[in-house]
Each structure stands twice: as structure tokens, then as C-alpha cells.
Amino acid sequence: MRLFEAAHVFKHDWETVSLANWRKYPNSKTPHVRHVEILNQDVDPSTGVLRTERLIMVQQNVPALVRRVFGGDTSYVLEYSEVDPQQKTLVMQSQNLTFSNLLSVGERIEFRPDAQDAGHTV
């Protein structure tokens, strides 16, 4: 079930937005992201496509009762990404691993140059 979809135009070229994507975790503005581990990464020599699998550790801000019931405040997210420098696309898909038997949260993000303005990214 899809609950919502959003679109945004970044007023920066695809290269800048793609690079910023790799620098987003960890940083001082997202202290809940405690660690990012690259599990697998490879580049297809014929296409130049970079595929990456990352495990993201997140510390949730939850009430003490929730921590006691569920055994803690740390959760894990698995992220797959694919960067195609020829087509100028970056696609990321993430899925929660923690409590996935109770609640499944998936996210898909795609960055590509704006068709109306190549200096912008959608």
C-alpha cells in the first residue's frame, strides 16, 4: 500500500545532488543515524553502473515503555542504490529490517536531470 508520493526539484545539477546523497549520513543534522556500513559495492565495467548495498543503524527517540516492550531503541534499515552515470539516474530503495514483521516501511527515491532544465534535478 502506498501512503504518499512526493516530488521536488533541486536547483542543482544531477552531479551535485548525487554527490550530496552519498554525504548525507552520518552528519550533525541527523544524529539519529548512528552508523552506515557498506555491505557490498561493485561497478559494472561495461556500463559504469555503481551498485551499493548499505546497512544503516538508527537510534529512535521513543518512550521508555516502548524501549522496554520492544527491547531497545536501535533499528536497522537496508538500502540498495544504483547510480547510472550514462543515463544520469540514481535510484535508492530502502526497507526497515527491525520490526518488519509488525510494520514494513519501504522507500524509493530517484534522482534524474529535470527535462525542462538540465541544471536542476528531480
How far apart, in whole angstroms, are the C-alpha atoms of residue 78 and residue 24?
Answer: 16
111 close to 119: Cβ distance less than 8 angstroms: no
For 88-108, the DSSP string reads TEEEEEEEE-TTTTT---EEE
34 close to 59: Cβ distance less than 8 angstroms: yes
How far apart, in whole angstroms, are the C-alpha atoms of residue 1 and residue 38?
Answer: 29
pLDDT tens digits along 66-89? 777 777 788 899 999 999 999 999
Q: Give the ranges where the chain is alpha helix by DSSP (H).
A: 14-22, 64-70
pLDDT tens digits along 98-122? 888 778 889 999 999 999 999 999 9
